[in-house]
Structure 1
Amino acid sequence: MDLFEVLGKSSSGLNSKGWEYVVQVVSNSTTKVGLYLLIFFLIFEIGKTFEQANRNNEGTVVPITMFNACVFALLAGALVTGTIFILPFINDITVGGINLIKNIGTYKLMSYASPEGPSWWDGLGKIISWLITFLVGIISSIIIVVVIVTRTLQLYVYTMLAPIAFSTFASSEYRSIGVSFLKTYCAVSLQGLVILLILGLSNAFSAPNVSGAVAGGLSSLVMPIVVAVLVLQSGRISKAIVGLGG
Protein backbone atom coordinates (compact mmCIF):
# COMPACT_ATOMS: atom_id res chain seq x y z
CA MET A 1 0.00 0.00 0.00
CA ASP A 2 1.45 3.33 -1.09
CA LEU A 3 0.53 5.57 1.86
CA PHE A 4 1.36 8.76 -0.02
CA GLU A 5 -0.86 7.62 -2.86
CA VAL A 6 -3.75 7.30 -0.39
CA LEU A 7 -3.10 10.08 2.12
CA GLY A 8 -1.46 12.58 -0.23
CA LYS A 9 -4.49 13.07 -2.45
CA SER A 10 -7.23 15.66 -2.35
CA SER A 11 -10.64 14.56 -1.10
CA SER A 12 -11.98 14.19 -4.63
CA GLY A 13 -8.98 12.08 -5.63
CA LEU A 14 -9.36 9.45 -2.90
CA ASN A 15 -12.20 7.67 -4.67
CA SER A 16 -13.86 9.12 -7.77
CA LYS A 17 -17.17 7.28 -7.36
CA GLY A 18 -17.24 8.06 -3.66
CA TRP A 19 -16.62 11.74 -4.28
CA GLU A 20 -19.31 11.81 -6.98
CA TYR A 21 -21.77 10.43 -4.44
CA VAL A 22 -20.66 13.04 -1.89
CA VAL A 23 -21.24 15.86 -4.37
CA GLN A 24 -24.71 14.58 -5.21
CA VAL A 25 -25.71 14.25 -1.56
CA VAL A 26 -24.40 17.70 -0.68
CA SER A 27 -26.04 19.45 -3.64
CA ASN A 28 -29.36 17.60 -3.58
CA SER A 29 -29.90 16.98 0.11
CA THR A 30 -27.80 18.33 2.95
CA THR A 31 -27.30 21.82 1.49
CA LYS A 32 -31.06 22.28 1.21
CA VAL A 33 -31.56 21.01 4.76
CA GLY A 34 -28.81 23.35 5.94
CA LEU A 35 -30.47 26.34 4.28
CA TYR A 36 -33.83 25.47 5.86
CA LEU A 37 -32.17 25.26 9.26
CA LEU A 38 -30.32 28.52 8.59
CA ILE A 39 -33.64 30.30 7.98
CA PHE A 40 -35.01 28.80 11.17
CA PHE A 41 -31.98 29.92 13.18
CA LEU A 42 -32.19 33.41 11.67
CA ILE A 43 -35.87 33.76 12.59
CA PHE A 44 -35.09 32.40 16.04
CA GLU A 45 -32.21 34.86 16.44
CA ILE A 46 -34.32 37.83 15.33
CA GLY A 47 -37.10 36.81 17.69
CA LYS A 48 -34.63 36.55 20.55
CA THR A 49 -33.26 39.98 19.67
CA PHE A 50 -36.73 41.54 19.83
CA GLU A 51 -37.38 39.81 23.13
CA GLN A 52 -34.17 41.17 24.64
CA ALA A 53 -34.87 44.63 23.22
CA ASN A 54 -38.36 44.71 24.70
CA ARG A 55 -37.04 43.62 28.05
CA ASN A 56 -34.00 45.89 28.26
CA ASN A 57 -34.71 48.90 26.04
CA GLU A 58 -38.45 49.49 26.40
CA GLY A 59 -39.30 48.13 22.96
CA THR A 60 -36.44 49.73 21.02
CA VAL A 61 -34.59 47.32 18.75
CA VAL A 62 -30.82 47.81 18.86
CA PRO A 63 -29.66 48.17 15.22
CA ILE A 64 -26.19 46.72 15.85
CA THR A 65 -27.72 43.56 17.32
CA MET A 66 -29.83 43.06 14.21
CA PHE A 67 -26.80 43.77 12.05
CA ASN A 68 -24.75 41.13 13.88
CA ALA A 69 -27.52 38.57 13.39
CA CYS A 70 -27.60 39.30 9.66
CA VAL A 71 -23.81 39.10 9.36
CA PHE A 72 -23.66 35.70 11.03
CA ALA A 73 -26.57 34.52 8.86
CA LEU A 74 -24.62 35.53 5.77
CA LEU A 75 -21.55 33.73 7.14
CA ALA A 76 -23.59 30.60 7.76
CA GLY A 77 -25.06 30.84 4.26
CA ALA A 78 -21.61 31.10 2.72
CA LEU A 79 -20.41 28.07 4.68
CA VAL A 80 -23.49 26.00 3.85
CA THR A 81 -23.43 26.72 0.12
CA GLY A 82 -19.63 26.58 -0.10
CA THR A 83 -19.14 23.29 1.74
CA ILE A 84 -18.14 21.43 -1.41
CA PHE A 85 -15.20 23.86 -1.77
CA ILE A 86 -14.35 24.80 1.83
CA LEU A 87 -13.78 21.39 3.38
CA PRO A 88 -11.71 19.97 0.49
CA PHE A 89 -9.59 23.12 0.73
CA ILE A 90 -8.90 22.34 4.40
CA ASN A 91 -7.89 18.80 3.43
CA ASP A 92 -5.64 20.13 0.66
CA ILE A 93 -3.67 22.09 3.26
CA THR A 94 -2.87 18.82 5.02
CA VAL A 95 -2.04 17.21 1.68
CA GLY A 96 0.49 19.97 1.16
CA GLY A 97 2.10 19.13 4.49
CA ILE A 98 2.17 15.44 3.53
CA ASN A 99 3.88 16.15 0.22
CA LEU A 100 6.56 18.20 1.98
CA ILE A 101 7.75 15.11 3.89
CA LYS A 102 7.38 12.71 0.98
CA ASN A 103 11.10 12.48 0.27
CA ILE A 104 12.22 12.50 3.89
CA GLY A 105 12.68 9.08 5.49
CA THR A 106 10.74 5.87 4.96
CA TYR A 107 7.01 5.50 5.46
CA LYS A 108 6.13 1.82 5.18
CA LEU A 109 3.76 -0.57 6.88
CA MET A 110 5.43 -3.03 9.21
CA SER A 111 6.48 -6.50 8.11
CA TYR A 112 9.63 -6.97 10.13
CA ALA A 113 9.90 -10.74 9.94
CA SER A 114 11.04 -12.23 6.65
CA PRO A 115 8.17 -13.90 4.73
CA GLU A 116 10.53 -16.86 4.21
CA GLY A 117 10.30 -18.63 7.53
CA PRO A 118 13.03 -20.78 9.06
CA SER A 119 13.19 -24.47 8.27
CA TRP A 120 12.65 -27.26 10.76
CA TRP A 121 16.42 -27.65 10.95
CA ASP A 122 16.66 -24.21 12.61
CA GLY A 123 14.81 -25.48 15.67
CA LEU A 124 11.34 -25.05 17.11
CA GLY A 125 12.35 -21.96 19.11
CA LYS A 126 13.35 -19.99 16.03
CA ILE A 127 10.22 -21.07 14.19
CA ILE A 128 7.96 -19.89 17.02
CA SER A 129 9.92 -16.62 17.33
CA TRP A 130 9.62 -15.98 13.60
CA LEU A 131 5.91 -16.82 13.61
CA ILE A 132 5.17 -14.44 16.49
CA THR A 133 7.07 -11.52 14.98
CA PHE A 134 5.58 -12.11 11.54
CA LEU A 135 2.01 -12.27 12.85
CA VAL A 136 2.50 -9.18 15.02
CA GLY A 137 3.80 -7.24 12.02
CA ILE A 138 0.90 -8.36 9.82
CA ILE A 139 -1.74 -7.59 12.46
CA SER A 140 -0.22 -4.16 13.10
CA SER A 141 -0.26 -3.43 9.37
CA ILE A 142 -3.92 -4.44 9.18
CA ILE A 143 -4.75 -2.11 12.09
CA ILE A 144 -3.01 0.77 10.31
CA VAL A 145 -4.89 0.06 7.07
CA VAL A 146 -8.22 -0.02 8.95
CA VAL A 147 -7.44 3.35 10.60
CA ILE A 148 -6.49 4.89 7.24
CA VAL A 149 -9.64 3.60 5.49
CA THR A 150 -11.79 4.79 8.40
CA ARG A 151 -10.24 8.24 8.23
CA THR A 152 -10.88 8.39 4.48
CA LEU A 153 -14.56 7.50 4.90
CA GLN A 154 -14.85 10.03 7.72
CA LEU A 155 -13.71 12.80 5.36
CA TYR A 156 -16.56 11.95 3.01
CA VAL A 157 -19.17 11.63 5.77
CA TYR A 158 -18.15 14.94 7.38
CA THR A 159 -18.28 16.68 3.99
CA MET A 160 -21.81 15.42 3.37
CA LEU A 161 -23.06 16.50 6.81
CA ALA A 162 -21.21 19.81 6.90
CA PRO A 163 -24.05 22.02 5.54
CA ILE A 164 -26.27 20.94 8.44
CA ALA A 165 -23.61 21.69 11.03
CA PHE A 166 -22.61 24.99 9.38
CA SER A 167 -26.17 26.30 9.56
CA THR A 168 -25.69 26.72 13.32
CA PHE A 169 -23.33 29.65 12.67
CA ALA A 170 -26.47 31.75 12.25
CA SER A 171 -27.40 31.19 15.91
CA SER A 172 -25.47 32.65 18.81
CA GLU A 173 -26.79 29.88 21.03
CA TYR A 174 -25.84 26.92 18.81
CA ARG A 175 -22.84 28.38 16.99
CA SER A 176 -20.46 26.28 19.07
CA ILE A 177 -21.77 23.18 17.25
CA GLY A 178 -20.51 24.48 13.93
CA VAL A 179 -17.17 25.55 15.40
CA SER A 180 -16.68 22.14 17.01
CA PHE A 181 -17.61 20.39 13.76
CA LEU A 182 -15.11 22.47 11.80
CA LYS A 183 -12.37 21.66 14.31
CA THR A 184 -13.22 17.96 14.11
CA TYR A 185 -12.99 18.01 10.33
CA CYS A 186 -9.60 19.72 10.56
CA ALA A 187 -8.49 16.99 12.98
CA VAL A 188 -9.63 14.22 10.60
CA SER A 189 -7.76 15.89 7.73
CA LEU A 190 -4.65 16.30 9.87
CA GLN A 191 -4.76 12.66 10.97
CA GLY A 192 -3.22 11.50 7.69
CA LEU A 193 -0.13 13.62 8.31
CA VAL A 194 0.09 12.38 11.92
CA ILE A 195 -0.03 8.74 10.77
CA LEU A 196 2.80 9.30 8.31
CA LEU A 197 4.90 11.08 10.93
CA ILE A 198 4.41 8.15 13.32
CA LEU A 199 5.43 5.61 10.68
CA GLY A 200 8.39 7.68 9.52
CA LEU A 201 9.64 8.13 13.06
CA SER A 202 9.23 4.43 13.85
CA ASN A 203 11.19 3.39 10.77
CA ALA A 204 13.99 5.83 11.60
CA PHE A 205 13.93 5.01 15.32
CA SER A 206 13.99 1.23 15.24
CA ALA A 207 15.90 0.39 12.05
CA PRO A 208 15.87 -3.34 12.85
CA ASN A 209 17.83 -5.89 10.90
CA VAL A 210 15.11 -7.54 8.83
CA SER A 211 17.26 -10.44 7.65
CA GLY A 212 17.34 -13.79 9.38
CA ALA A 213 14.77 -15.87 11.18
CA VAL A 214 14.19 -13.64 14.19
CA ALA A 215 14.43 -10.47 12.08
CA GLY A 216 15.70 -7.90 14.48
CA GLY A 217 15.02 -9.65 17.76
CA LEU A 218 12.90 -8.03 20.41
CA SER A 219 12.59 -4.70 18.56
CA SER A 220 10.83 -6.43 15.65
CA LEU A 221 8.21 -7.70 18.09
CA VAL A 222 7.74 -4.60 20.25
CA MET A 223 7.94 -1.86 17.62
CA PRO A 224 4.93 -2.98 15.52
CA ILE A 225 2.80 -3.05 18.67
CA VAL A 226 3.95 0.40 19.74
CA VAL A 227 3.37 1.85 16.26
CA ALA A 228 -0.10 0.27 16.02
CA VAL A 229 -1.05 1.80 19.38
CA LEU A 230 0.22 5.22 18.28
CA VAL A 231 -1.67 5.00 14.98
CA LEU A 232 -4.83 4.13 16.90
CA GLN A 233 -4.22 7.26 18.97
CA SER A 234 -3.51 9.44 15.91
CA GLY A 235 -7.09 10.70 16.00
CA ARG A 236 -6.67 11.90 19.59
CA ILE A 237 -3.35 13.54 18.73
CA SER A 238 -4.94 15.38 15.81
CA LYS A 239 -7.86 16.56 17.97
CA ALA A 240 -5.45 17.86 20.60
CA ILE A 241 -3.65 19.91 17.94
CA VAL A 242 -6.86 21.72 16.92
CA GLY A 243 -7.90 22.31 20.52
CA LEU A 244 -10.44 19.54 21.08
CA GLY A 245 -8.46 18.02 23.94
CA GLY A 246 -8.11 14.58 22.34
Structure 2
Amino acid sequence: MGSGNWIVDNLNSALATWNEKLTEIWTLISTSPEEFKGGGIWDVILNIHDALRAIGYALLVLFFVAGVVKTCGSFTELKRPEVAVKTFVRFALAQGAVTYGLELMMTLFSIAQGAVSTIMDASGLTAMSDTALPDEMVTIIEDVGFLESIPLWAVTLLGSLFIWVLSLVMILTVYSRFFKLYMATAIAPIPLASFAGQPSSSIGVAFIKSYAAICLEGCMIVLACIIFSQFAAAPPAIADDTMAAATIVWNYIGELVFNMLVLVGAIKMSDRLVRELMGLG
Protein backbone atom coordinates (compact mmCIF):
# COMPACT_ATOMS: atom_id res chain seq x y z
CA MET A 1 0.00 0.00 0.00
CA GLY A 2 1.38 3.43 -0.95
CA SER A 3 2.30 6.05 1.61
CA GLY A 4 0.80 8.90 -0.40
CA ASN A 5 4.22 10.43 -1.02
CA TRP A 6 5.54 9.91 -4.55
CA ILE A 7 9.22 9.99 -3.52
CA VAL A 8 8.75 7.44 -0.74
CA ASP A 9 6.60 5.18 -2.92
CA ASN A 10 9.15 5.30 -5.76
CA LEU A 11 12.02 4.28 -3.47
CA ASN A 12 9.91 1.57 -1.84
CA SER A 13 8.98 0.22 -5.28
CA ALA A 14 12.65 0.01 -6.31
CA LEU A 15 13.60 -1.68 -3.01
CA ALA A 16 10.68 -4.11 -3.39
CA THR A 17 12.07 -5.11 -6.80
CA TRP A 18 15.53 -5.62 -5.29
CA ASN A 19 14.12 -7.76 -2.45
CA GLU A 20 12.03 -9.78 -4.90
CA LYS A 21 15.07 -10.57 -7.06
CA LEU A 22 17.16 -11.51 -4.01
CA THR A 23 14.45 -13.91 -2.85
CA GLU A 24 14.22 -15.37 -6.36
CA ILE A 25 18.00 -15.90 -6.45
CA TRP A 26 17.91 -17.68 -3.09
CA THR A 27 15.26 -20.04 -4.51
CA LEU A 28 16.87 -20.50 -7.93
CA ILE A 29 20.28 -21.36 -6.56
CA SER A 30 18.86 -24.48 -4.88
CA THR A 31 16.78 -25.49 -7.92
CA SER A 32 17.93 -28.27 -10.22
CA PRO A 33 17.68 -28.05 -14.04
CA GLU A 34 14.99 -30.75 -13.94
CA GLU A 35 12.79 -28.56 -11.70
CA PHE A 36 13.49 -25.18 -13.32
CA LYS A 37 10.33 -23.71 -14.90
CA GLY A 38 8.42 -26.92 -14.28
CA GLY A 39 10.91 -29.14 -16.12
CA GLY A 40 9.63 -28.37 -19.63
CA ILE A 41 12.96 -26.94 -20.76
CA TRP A 42 14.82 -29.95 -19.37
CA ASP A 43 12.68 -32.36 -21.40
CA VAL A 44 13.57 -30.50 -24.61
CA ILE A 45 17.27 -30.51 -23.68
CA LEU A 46 17.16 -34.26 -23.08
CA ASN A 47 15.64 -34.80 -26.53
CA ILE A 48 18.44 -32.73 -28.10
CA HIS A 49 21.04 -34.61 -26.05
CA ASP A 50 19.70 -37.96 -27.24
CA ALA A 51 19.66 -36.78 -30.85
CA LEU A 52 23.25 -35.54 -30.66
CA ARG A 53 24.37 -38.79 -29.04
CA ALA A 54 24.11 -40.47 -32.46
CA ILE A 55 26.47 -37.81 -33.86
CA GLY A 56 28.74 -38.43 -30.87
CA TYR A 57 28.99 -42.12 -31.74
CA ALA A 58 29.95 -41.22 -35.32
CA LEU A 59 32.58 -38.79 -34.06
CA LEU A 60 34.00 -41.53 -31.81
CA VAL A 61 35.21 -43.37 -34.88
CA LEU A 62 36.58 -40.19 -36.45
CA PHE A 63 38.49 -39.15 -33.33
CA PHE A 64 39.68 -42.73 -32.82
CA VAL A 65 41.09 -43.07 -36.35
CA ALA A 66 42.66 -39.59 -36.20
CA GLY A 67 44.26 -40.46 -32.88
CA VAL A 68 45.65 -43.75 -34.15
CA VAL A 69 47.10 -42.12 -37.25
CA LYS A 70 48.73 -39.34 -35.27
CA THR A 71 50.12 -41.41 -32.38
CA CYS A 72 51.16 -44.55 -34.23
CA GLY A 73 53.99 -44.30 -36.74
CA SER A 74 52.65 -47.26 -38.70
CA PHE A 75 49.97 -49.94 -38.45
CA THR A 76 52.66 -52.44 -37.48
CA GLU A 77 53.09 -50.50 -34.25
CA LEU A 78 49.38 -50.96 -33.58
CA LYS A 79 49.92 -54.75 -33.68
CA ARG A 80 51.91 -54.52 -30.44
CA PRO A 81 49.59 -55.86 -27.69
CA GLU A 82 50.21 -53.05 -25.19
CA VAL A 83 49.54 -50.35 -27.82
CA ALA A 84 46.44 -52.11 -29.16
CA VAL A 85 44.98 -52.67 -25.68
CA LYS A 86 45.65 -49.08 -24.63
CA THR A 87 44.08 -47.73 -27.82
CA PHE A 88 40.93 -49.82 -27.62
CA VAL A 89 40.49 -49.25 -23.88
CA ARG A 90 40.54 -45.51 -24.62
CA PHE A 91 37.89 -46.07 -27.29
CA ALA A 92 35.71 -48.08 -24.89
CA LEU A 93 36.01 -45.42 -22.18
CA ALA A 94 35.13 -42.70 -24.68
CA GLN A 95 32.10 -44.68 -25.80
CA GLY A 96 31.06 -45.02 -22.17
CA ALA A 97 31.48 -41.26 -21.69
CA VAL A 98 29.16 -40.58 -24.64
CA THR A 99 26.62 -43.18 -23.53
CA TYR A 100 26.57 -42.31 -19.83
CA GLY A 101 27.76 -38.70 -20.09
CA LEU A 102 24.43 -37.31 -18.89
CA GLU A 103 24.56 -39.40 -15.71
CA LEU A 104 28.15 -38.32 -15.07
CA MET A 105 27.26 -34.66 -15.54
CA MET A 106 24.24 -34.92 -13.24
CA THR A 107 26.49 -36.51 -10.62
CA LEU A 108 28.82 -33.51 -10.84
CA PHE A 109 25.84 -31.18 -10.53
CA SER A 110 24.49 -33.10 -7.52
CA ILE A 111 27.86 -32.78 -5.76
CA ALA A 112 27.88 -29.02 -6.40
CA GLN A 113 24.26 -28.70 -5.21
CA GLY A 114 25.18 -30.63 -2.07
CA ALA A 115 27.90 -28.07 -1.42
CA VAL A 116 25.36 -25.25 -1.95
CA SER A 117 22.94 -26.82 0.54
CA THR A 118 25.74 -27.28 3.07
CA ILE A 119 26.76 -23.63 2.73
CA MET A 120 23.16 -22.48 3.17
CA ASP A 121 22.64 -24.64 6.25
CA ALA A 122 25.95 -23.60 7.82
CA SER A 123 25.17 -19.91 7.28
CA GLY A 124 21.98 -20.18 9.33
CA LEU A 125 20.08 -18.08 6.76
CA THR A 126 16.74 -19.38 5.54
CA ALA A 127 16.23 -16.39 3.23
CA MET A 128 17.82 -13.09 2.34
CA SER A 129 16.84 -10.21 4.62
CA ASP A 130 14.75 -7.47 3.03
CA THR A 131 16.11 -4.00 2.45
CA ALA A 132 13.64 -1.35 3.61
CA LEU A 133 13.54 2.44 3.72
CA PRO A 134 14.18 3.55 7.34
CA ASP A 135 11.38 5.38 9.15
CA GLU A 136 13.72 8.34 9.76
CA MET A 137 14.25 8.71 6.02
CA VAL A 138 10.51 8.54 5.38
CA THR A 139 9.93 11.28 7.96
CA ILE A 140 12.62 13.52 6.43
CA ILE A 141 11.12 13.15 2.96
CA GLU A 142 7.51 13.70 4.07
CA ASP A 143 8.43 16.87 5.96
CA VAL A 144 9.88 18.51 2.83
CA GLY A 145 7.84 21.23 1.15
CA PHE A 146 6.86 21.25 -2.51
CA LEU A 147 9.70 23.44 -3.80
CA GLU A 148 12.31 21.61 -1.72
CA SER A 149 11.00 18.27 -2.98
CA ILE A 150 11.86 19.08 -6.62
CA PRO A 151 15.58 18.14 -6.28
CA LEU A 152 14.48 15.07 -4.31
CA TRP A 153 12.51 13.86 -7.33
CA ALA A 154 15.67 13.92 -9.45
CA VAL A 155 17.72 12.18 -6.74
CA THR A 156 15.02 9.55 -6.22
CA LEU A 157 14.59 8.87 -9.93
CA LEU A 158 18.32 8.40 -10.41
CA GLY A 159 18.68 6.18 -7.32
CA SER A 160 15.64 4.08 -8.22
CA LEU A 161 16.97 3.62 -11.76
CA PHE A 162 20.30 2.35 -10.39
CA ILE A 163 18.53 -0.09 -8.06
CA TRP A 164 16.31 -1.40 -10.88
CA VAL A 165 19.25 -1.90 -13.21
CA LEU A 166 21.34 -3.65 -10.53
CA SER A 167 18.39 -5.93 -9.72
CA LEU A 168 18.03 -6.95 -13.36
CA VAL A 169 21.78 -7.48 -13.87
CA MET A 170 21.90 -9.65 -10.74
CA ILE A 171 18.99 -11.90 -11.66
CA LEU A 172 20.11 -12.17 -15.30
CA THR A 173 23.48 -13.47 -14.15
CA VAL A 174 21.81 -16.22 -12.14
CA TYR A 175 19.47 -17.11 -15.01
CA SER A 176 22.43 -17.27 -17.38
CA ARG A 177 23.85 -20.09 -15.24
CA PHE A 178 20.82 -22.22 -16.10
CA PHE A 179 21.22 -21.39 -19.79
CA LYS A 180 24.85 -22.49 -19.65
CA LEU A 181 23.88 -25.72 -17.86
CA TYR A 182 21.24 -26.48 -20.49
CA MET A 183 23.51 -25.72 -23.43
CA ALA A 184 26.39 -27.78 -22.00
CA THR A 185 24.06 -30.71 -21.37
CA ALA A 186 22.58 -30.55 -24.86
CA ILE A 187 25.91 -30.65 -26.75
CA ALA A 188 27.74 -32.94 -24.29
CA PRO A 189 27.98 -36.03 -26.60
CA ILE A 190 30.05 -34.11 -29.16
CA PRO A 191 32.93 -32.90 -26.92
CA LEU A 192 32.88 -36.14 -24.90
CA ALA A 193 33.47 -38.13 -28.10
CA SER A 194 36.89 -36.46 -28.36
CA PHE A 195 38.19 -38.77 -25.62
CA ALA A 196 38.43 -41.51 -28.28
CA GLY A 197 41.68 -40.02 -29.58
CA GLN A 198 44.64 -38.99 -27.48
CA PRO A 199 45.41 -35.78 -29.43
CA SER A 200 41.77 -34.64 -29.26
CA SER A 201 41.16 -35.60 -25.63
CA SER A 202 42.00 -32.04 -24.52
CA ILE A 203 38.62 -30.99 -25.94
CA GLY A 204 36.80 -33.35 -23.59
CA VAL A 205 38.94 -32.32 -20.62
CA ALA A 206 38.21 -28.64 -21.30
CA PHE A 207 34.48 -29.42 -21.54
CA ILE A 208 34.42 -31.27 -18.21
CA LYS A 209 36.32 -28.42 -16.54
CA SER A 210 33.92 -25.84 -17.95
CA TYR A 211 30.90 -27.84 -16.82
CA ALA A 212 32.35 -28.24 -13.33
CA ALA A 213 32.93 -24.47 -13.21
CA ILE A 214 29.30 -23.81 -14.18
CA CYS A 215 28.11 -26.14 -11.40
CA LEU A 216 30.37 -24.51 -8.82
CA GLU A 217 29.12 -21.05 -9.78
CA GLY A 218 26.18 -21.79 -7.50
CA CYS A 219 28.50 -22.05 -4.51
CA MET A 220 30.11 -18.70 -5.31
CA ILE A 221 26.75 -16.99 -5.81
CA VAL A 222 25.32 -18.21 -2.52
CA LEU A 223 28.55 -17.27 -0.72
CA ALA A 224 28.30 -13.78 -2.24
CA CYS A 225 24.71 -13.46 -0.98
CA ILE A 226 25.68 -14.61 2.51
CA ILE A 227 28.65 -12.25 2.71
CA PHE A 228 26.46 -9.40 1.45
CA SER A 229 23.82 -10.10 4.08
CA GLN A 230 26.48 -9.65 6.77
CA PHE A 231 28.18 -6.74 5.00
CA ALA A 232 24.89 -4.86 4.69
CA ALA A 233 23.39 -6.00 8.01
CA ALA A 234 23.44 -2.41 9.23
CA PRO A 235 21.45 -0.06 6.96
CA PRO A 236 23.20 3.01 5.53
CA ALA A 237 23.55 5.70 8.16
CA ILE A 238 21.29 8.73 8.08
CA ALA A 239 23.40 11.87 7.76
CA ASP A 240 23.10 14.89 10.03
CA ASP A 241 19.48 16.07 9.87
CA THR A 242 20.65 19.69 9.73
CA MET A 243 21.70 19.11 6.12
CA ALA A 244 19.38 19.69 3.18
CA ALA A 245 16.87 16.89 2.62
CA ALA A 246 18.16 16.29 -0.93
CA THR A 247 21.71 15.86 0.41
CA ILE A 248 20.58 13.44 3.12
CA VAL A 249 18.64 11.32 0.62
CA TRP A 250 21.51 11.43 -1.89
CA ASN A 251 24.01 10.24 0.76
CA TYR A 252 21.66 7.45 1.81
CA ILE A 253 20.99 6.27 -1.75
CA GLY A 254 24.69 6.50 -2.64
CA GLU A 255 25.71 4.20 0.23
CA LEU A 256 22.79 1.86 -0.49
CA VAL A 257 23.73 1.57 -4.19
CA PHE A 258 27.37 0.96 -3.25
CA ASN A 259 26.35 -1.97 -1.03
CA MET A 260 24.26 -3.36 -3.86
CA LEU A 261 27.13 -2.94 -6.33
CA VAL A 262 29.31 -5.07 -4.07
CA LEU A 263 26.85 -7.97 -4.30
CA VAL A 264 26.17 -7.60 -8.03
CA GLY A 265 29.91 -7.41 -8.75
CA ALA A 266 30.57 -10.55 -6.69
CA ILE A 267 27.80 -12.45 -8.49
CA LYS A 268 28.97 -11.24 -11.92
CA MET A 269 32.54 -12.42 -11.31
CA SER A 270 31.52 -15.78 -9.77
CA ASP A 271 32.30 -17.57 -13.05
CA ARG A 272 35.79 -16.12 -13.34
CA LEU A 273 36.47 -16.54 -9.62
CA VAL A 274 35.63 -20.23 -9.53
CA ARG A 275 37.86 -20.87 -12.56
CA GLU A 276 40.77 -19.04 -10.93
CA LEU A 277 40.37 -20.66 -7.51
CA MET A 278 39.83 -24.20 -8.82
CA GLY A 279 42.21 -23.97 -11.79
CA LEU A 280 39.42 -24.84 -14.21
CA GLY A 281 40.74 -22.79 -17.09
Task: Indicate the TM-score class for this superposition, using the shorter chain for normalisation.
Answer: 0.7 to 0.9
Q: Corresponding residue for 2:128?
A: 108
- Contact kept? 1:77, 1:167, Cα under 8 Å: yes
Number of aligned residue pairs: 239
1:83-129, CA deviations, whole angstroms, 9 ceiling, x for partnerless residues? 22111211111111111122425563985657x97347274455555
**Counterpart check, 1:21 vs 2:44:** yes
Aligned letter for 2:98?
A: V
Aligned residues of 1:113 and 1:133 also touching (Cα < 8 A): no
Q: Counterpart of 2:60?
A: 38
Identity of aligned residues (%): 21
Structure-2 separation of matches of 1:74 and 1:237: 35
Cα distance, 1:218 vs structure 2:
4.3
1:140 to 158, 163, 166: 166
Is the contact between residue 80 and residue 166 of structure 1 (CA under 8 Å) also seen in structure 2?
A: yes
- Answer with 207-216 or 180-189: which moved more: 207-216
Shift of 1:211: 9.5
Work out whether residues 41 and 168 of structure 1, in 8 Å CA contact, stay in contact via their aligned partners in 2: yes
Question: C-alpha root-mean-square deviation of aligned residues, in Å?
Answer: 2.9
Q: Give yes or no for contact 2:52–2:187 (8 Å, CA) kept in 1.
A: yes
The AA in structure 1 aligned to 2:111 is I
Superposition pairs of residues 57-76 of structure 1, within 5 angstroms: 61-76=79-94
Aligned mate of 1:225, from 255, 261, 280: 261
Distance 1:36 1:223 in 2: 52
Secondary structure of the corresponding residue to residue 157 of structure 1: helix
1:75 and 1:165 map into 2 onto residues whose CA distance is 14
Moved over 6 A (4+): 210-213
Relative distance call for 1:120 and 1:146 in structure 2 (3 A) is farther
Structure 1 residue 88 corresponds to structure 2 residue 106? yes
Deviations 1:66-88 (A, max 9, x none): 21111111111111111221112
Whether 1:153 aligns to 2:189 is no
CA-to-partner distance for each residue in 1:110-168, whole Å, 9 max, x for gaps? 85657x97347274455555444433333212111101111101101000111100001
Match of 1:99 among 112, 117, 122: 117
Aligned partners of 1:149, 1:133: CA distance in 2, in Å? 25
Structure number with higher relative contact order (C-alpha < 8 Å, ≥ 6 residues apart):
2
- Structure 1 position 7 matched with structure 2 position 25: no
| Runs of 5+ unmatched residues, structure 1 | none
Aligned mates of 1:165, 1:68 — CA distance in 2: 21
Q: CA deviation at 1:17?
A: 0.6
| Deviation, structure 1 residue 210 | 6.8
Matched residue type, 1:181: F
1:242 corresponds to 2:278? yes
Distance 1:50 1:232, change over 3 A: closer
The residue aligned with 2:233 is 207
Letter in 2 for 1:22: I
Distance 1:178 1:140 in 2: 36
Return the letter of the residue paired with 2:186. M
1:9 shift after superposition: 2.3
Q: TM-score scaled by structure 1?
A: 0.84
Distance between the aligned counterparts of 1:50 and 1:66, measured in 2? 10
1:172 to 198, 220, 227: 198
Greater CA radius of gyration, 1 or 2? 2
- Single out whichever of 81-90 and 6-15 deviates more from structure 2: 6-15
Q: Does the CA-based 8 Å contact 2:25-2:171 persist in structure 1?
A: no
Residues 65 and 197 of structure 2 are in contact (CA less than 8 Å); yes or no, is this contact kept in structure 1? no
Letter in 2 for 1:10: S
Q: Where in structure 2 are there 5+ consecutive unaligned residues?
A: 1-22, 239-247
